[in-house]
Amino acid sequence: MKPAPFRFTAPGARAELLQTLAEHGDAARVLAGGQSLVPLMNMRMVQPALLVSINLCRELDYIRVEDGALVIGALTRQSTAEQSPLVHRHCPLLAAALPWVGGMANRNRGTVCGSLAHADPLAELPAVALALEAQMVVSRAGATRHVSARDFFVDALTSCLQPGEMLEAVRFPAARPGDRVAFLEIANRSHAFAVAGAALRVTLDADGRCSALGIAVIGGGSTARRLAGAERALQGRALDRAAIDDAVATVGAEVDPIADIHADAGYRRHALGVLVGRALRNAAGASA
Taking the complex as a whole, the smallest distance from the CB of residue 165 to ligand FAD amounts, in Å, to 7
Q: Which residues are near ligand FAD by CB under 6 A?
A: 29-37, 74, 101-102, 106, 110-111, 113-115, 117-118, 120, 123-124, 161, 166-167, 191, 193
Which residue, 74 or 95, is less far from ligand FAD as judged by CB? 74
The b/e string for 200-218 (b: 16+ C-beta within 10 A; e otherwise) is bbbbbeeeebbeebbbbbb
Taking the complex as a whole, the smallest distance from the CB of residue 8 to ligand FAD amounts, in Å, to 13
Taking the complex as a whole, the smallest distance from the CB of residue 11 to ligand FAD amounts, in Å, to 13
Which residue, 108 or 203, is less far from ligand FAD as judged by CB? 108
Amino acid at position 117, single letter: A
Could you tell me the CA-to-CA distances from 199 to 46, 51, 66, 126, 226 in Å, in that order? Answer: 30, 33, 24, 10, 9
Taking the complex as a whole, the smallest distance from the CB of residue 197 to ligand FAD amounts, in Å, to 10
Phi and psi of 112, rounded to 5°? -65, -45
Which residue, 124 or 254, is less far from ligand FAD as judged by CB? 124
Question: Distance (Å, rounded) from C-alpha 244 to C-alpha 280?
Answer: 7
Quickly count: other Cβ atoms within 10 Å of residue 256's Cβ.
12
Question: Distance (Å, rounded) from C-alpha 138 to C-alpha 155?
Answer: 18
Taking the complex as a whole, the smallest distance from the CB of residue 207 to ligand FAD amounts, in Å, to 37
Which residue, 31 or 283, is less far from ligand FAD as judged by CB? 31
Which residue, 161 or 243, is less far from ligand FAD as judged by CB? 161
Question: Distance (Å, rounded) from C-alpha 107 to C-alpha 104?
Answer: 5
